[in-house]
Amino acid sequence: MKRDFLKSIGVADDLIDKIMAENGDDIEREKKVAEKAKADLNETRQQLDKLQADYDTLKKNANDVSGVQSKLDELQKKYDTDTATLQAQLSARDYTDAISAAISGYDKGKGLHFSSKGAEKAFTVALKEKKLTLKDGALEGFEDFVKEQMESDPDSFSSNKPKPNFSKSIGAGSKPDTESDAVKQAREIGRQKAAARANTGSVFDYYAGGVYTPPAPTPTN
């Protein structure tokens, strides 16, 4: 609003001064309001920019977390698999050691004896397949398993008793008599035949004009 306009419509000068002063205050007040609104707008824009930056950062970190989580899951799976494999190997080793201990400690430490290596291997395989409970290093039910195997396949086992020794008593400086009766009999027959041949030759020499010399007695053991 202009002073000339107010004056042209007959407004007194002192009133014009008041109107102009009030108008100036209004303009100044509105100007300050506008400036504050502008400042608020700038601040709001800055906040929005910051929010956008924070959102982009969070989004990026979220992607990274997803990748890290995937790697962690893969490592966890590998750890579980390797742990299970190692545990199985340790259990198999402990079971094998328990089998050896059970076989050697059978019958109050006399041991379990087999008729052949093949029989022992078959027994061990069957025992592994049985999967007896292993407790404190010992196989529960081993005695019953042995009994079942002896009943089903007795030829796979040999007696724990030592084999009898039929050798004769020998004196000092003599060799042990390890020959069987059949060998001794065959050897004696051979000696007798040799003596007969010698006698036959001597008699022939006598009738041919030679001198008959009886053979020396055949030594016997």
End-to-end CA distance of the chain: 162
Same domain, yes or no, for 80 and 13?
Answer: yes
Residue 221 lies in a domain: no
pLDDT of residue 45: 85
Radius of gyration of the chain (CA): 60
Pick the last residue of a domain from 37, 52, 86: 86
Scanning 105-166, the segments in alpha helix (DSSP H) are: 117-130, 142-152
Same domain, yes or no, for 39 and 67?
Answer: yes
Q: Which residue range is the domain that position 34 belongs to?
A: 3-86
What phi-psi label fits residue 137: left (phi over 0), alpha (psi between -120 and 50 degrees) or beta?
left
pLDDT of residue 196: 66
Please tell me what DSSP assigns to residue 131. T
One-letter amino acid at 25 equals D
Same domain, yes or no, for 35 and 82?
Answer: yes
pLDDT of residue 204: 47
Same domain, yes or no, for 14 and 77?
Answer: yes
Residue 100 lies in a domain: no
Instruction: Give long-range contacts, CB 8 A cutoff, 24+ apart: 188-197.
Output: 191/218, 191/220, 194/218
Residue 14 lies in a domain: yes
Residues, the chain: 221
* Block residue for tokens 């709001």: 44
Q: For residue range 89-134, what is the model confidence (pLDDT) as tens digits?
A: 988 899 999 999 999 988 888 889 999 999 999 999 999 999 999 9
Helix axes 142-152, 117-130, angle to 10 degrees: 130
Same domain, yes or no, for 200 and 132?
Answer: no
Residue 97 lies in a domain: no
Same domain, yes or no, for 59 and 19?
Answer: yes
Same domain, yes or no, for 149 and 188?
Answer: no
Residue 194 lies in a domain: yes
Same domain, yes or no, for 46 and 81?
Answer: yes
Same domain, yes or no, for 42 and 76?
Answer: yes
135 three-state secondary structure = strand
One-letter amino acid at 136 equals D
pLDDT of residue 70: 80
Domain count along the chain: 3
Same domain, yes or no, for 82 and 145?
Answer: no
Residue 161 lies in a domain: no
Residue 109 lies in a domain: yes
Residue 127: phi and psi, rounded to 5, are: -70, -35
Strand boundaries in 10-159, DSSP class E: 134-135, 138-139
**β-bridge partners, 135:** 138
Neighbours of 56 (CB within 10 A): 10
Helix-strand-coil split of the chain, %, nearest 5: 70, 5, 30
Residue ranges for the chain with pLDDT beneath 50: 166, 168-170, 203-204, 206-208, 210-212
Residue 220 lies in a domain: no
